[in-house]
Amino acid sequence: MPSPPPPPAEMRLKEINYKAPAGDVNHTKLEYNSSGKVTRITNQLGTNAAATTFDIIYSGNQITLASLAVDSVNRPYADTIRLTVDNDGKVLKRIRYTFYLYPGTGQAFQRQFIYDTLQFEYDAIGLLTKEIHGSCDSTWKNPYSPSSDVHRESIVSNFTIVNNNATVKKGNGFITTVHYSGSNKTSNVDSAEVITNFDYTHAYTNKTDFSNAAILDEIDRFSYLPVNKSYANLPEKVDYKLTQKSLNGTTLSATYSTYNFQFNYNSDGYLSNRIYMGDSGNPVNYVYSLSN
pLDDT at residue number 273? 95
pLDDT at residue number 4? 55
pLDDT at residue number 154? 97
H helices of the chain, in order, are: 213-216
| pTM of this structure | 0.88
Angle at 185 between CA 180 and CA 189, to 5 degrees: 100
Q: Are the beta carbons of 87 and 110 closer than 8 angstroms?
A: no
Q: Residue 191: helix, strand or coil by DSSP?
A: strand
| Element (DSSP H or E) covering residue 142 | none
- Compute the distance between CA of residue 22 and CA of residue 212 in angstroms, rounded to an integer: 31
- Domains along the chain? 11-290 (2.40.160)
The contacts of residue 112 (CB under 8 Å, 6+ apart) are: 98, 99, 100, 102, 137, 138, 139, 140
CA atoms within 13 Å, Cβ hemisphere of 193: 12
CA dihedral of 144, 98, 14, 232, whole degrees rounded to 10: -130
- Of the candidates 192, 201, 120, 130, the one whose C-alpha atom is nearest the C-alpha of residue 161 is 130
Residues 243-263 have pLDDT tens digits of 999 999 999 999 999 999 999
pLDDT at residue number 20? 82
pLDDT at residue number 3? 57
- Compute the distance between CA of residue 41 and CA of residue 32 in angstroms, rounded to an integer: 9
| β partners of residue 238 | 198, 259
The contacts of residue 81 (CB under 8 Å, 6+ apart) are: 54, 64, 65, 66, 94, 95, 96, 218
For the chain, 292 residues long, give each residue's pLDDT as a single digit of tens: 555 555 567 889 999 999 887 789 999 999 999 999 999 999 999 888 998 889 999 999 999 999 876 655 566 678 899 999 999 999 999 999 988 887 766 556 788 899 999 999 999 999 999 999 999 999 887 766 778 999 999 999 999 999 999 999 999 999 999 998 878 899 999 999 999 999 999 999 999 999 999 999 998 768 889 999 999 999 999 999 999 999 999 999 999 999 999 999 999 999 999 998 876 668 999 999 987 6
Q: Tell the burial category of 81 from Cβ atoms under 10 Å away from its Cβ (0-12, 13-18, 19+).
A: buried
- Of the candidates 273, 275, 270, 274, the one whose C-alpha atom is nearest the C-alpha of residue 289 is 270
pLDDT at residue number 183? 81
Q: Are the beta carbons of 180 and 139 closer than 8 angstroms?
A: no
pLDDT at residue number 1? 56
* R_g over Cα of the chain: 21
- Compute the distance between CA of residue 91 and CA of residue 93 in angstroms, rounded to an integer: 6
Q: Are the beta carbons of 88 and 192 closer than 8 angstroms?
A: no
pLDDT at residue number 59? 96
DSSP conformation letters of 18-55: EE-TTSPEEEEEEEE-TTS-EEEEEEEETTSPPEEEEE
